[in-house]
Amino acid sequence: MAAHPIGVHVGPGLTQDGGMDGGGPLTRAAEMDADGVQFFLGDPQGWKAPKLSPEEQALLAGDTALFVHAPYVLNVASTNNRIRIPSRKTLTQHAQLAAAVGARGMVVHGGHVLGTDDPAAGVDNWRKTFARQAEDGGFPLPLLIENTAGGGNAMARDLDALARLWEAVGGFGAGFVLDTCHAWAAGWDLATAVDDVRATTGRIDLVHLNNSRDPRGSSRDRHAPLADGEIPVELLLEVARAADAPVVLETPGDAADHAGEVALLRSALS
């Protein structure tokens, strides 16, 4: 297995009702000559506990690096009990299955609080999530928190907000995902983003290397192909080099497009 695999996001590669999608994540990754793959364990907009048969789990065995993405609906920072409590439960369920299939880590968005709420409450809710899980031995695999593109009360949009969050959860071993499109949308300087994040969190565990359809600071999360967006491609490649971490492409396009992007990255990082 490559030390720093180049992966592709294949969406709901596994579904509770439909089983394997398109032959499963490993088949999809092989079509693009990727040595890593990111996928959901179920409906990304759903709350159901993920379930995989032993046969389906066996189809995930191999040398391909696996990363699971938690459902988008989860928001453990929320001050709304009807959102936060099921978010914690669902997060734990997905983490348990992700660990069972051998995933290197599980990506989860930082979340947000309502505009009338103090962001400090959201930070403390994240702390409680890790603290309560620690009472049961901790999460069974690294939980990788991803920076987000918009929202004034987001937990991981701005570097200062990220610093407050990491002060609360860093001691629990939380990992970090740097999404280049999200960082660009939030107005970060990508030329210094890797150093800025490491100064804040001490780590970068995964890079979501995505271009953006919109100008810097737009707060809009609209991904573009690696070499066809508002972010200069060489700047993206430099982020990947400096991060020295696994990369996952979440760019639009078909298998051939992604195979070309994987080849470009592999050449640039070799």
CA distance 93 to 114: 26
Residue 237 three-state SS: helix
Specify the pairing of strand 105-109 against strand 65-69.
parallel
Contact (Cβ atoms closer than 8 angstroms) between residue 207 and residue 176: no
Q: What pLDDT does 22 receive?
A: 61
Q: What pLDDT does 16 receive?
A: 43
Tokens of 87: 């978010």
pLDDT digits (tens, 9 = 90+) for 215-250: 999 999 999 999 999 999 999 999 999 999 999 999
For the entire predicted model, the pTM comes to: 0.95
Contact (Cβ atoms closer than 8 angstroms) between residue 204 and residue 245: yes
Phi, psi of 178 (to 5 degrees): -95, 110
Contact (Cβ atoms closer than 8 angstroms) between residue 179 and residue 243: no
Contact (Cβ atoms closer than 8 angstroms) between residue 148 and residue 190: no
Across the chain, which has 270 residues, the per-10-residue mean pLDDT values are 85 52 82 95 93 88 95 96 97 97 97 92 98 97 96 91 97 98 98 98 98 97 96 98 98 94 96
CA distance 219 to 212: 11
CA distance 34 to 240: 16
Tokens of 83: 């959102």
Helix (H) and strand (E) counts for the chain? 9, 12
Using a 10 angstrom Cβ sphere, with 0-12 exposed, 13-18 middle and 19 or more buried, the burial of residue 53 is exposed
Question: Residue 232 CB: number of other CB atoms within 10 A?
Answer: 12
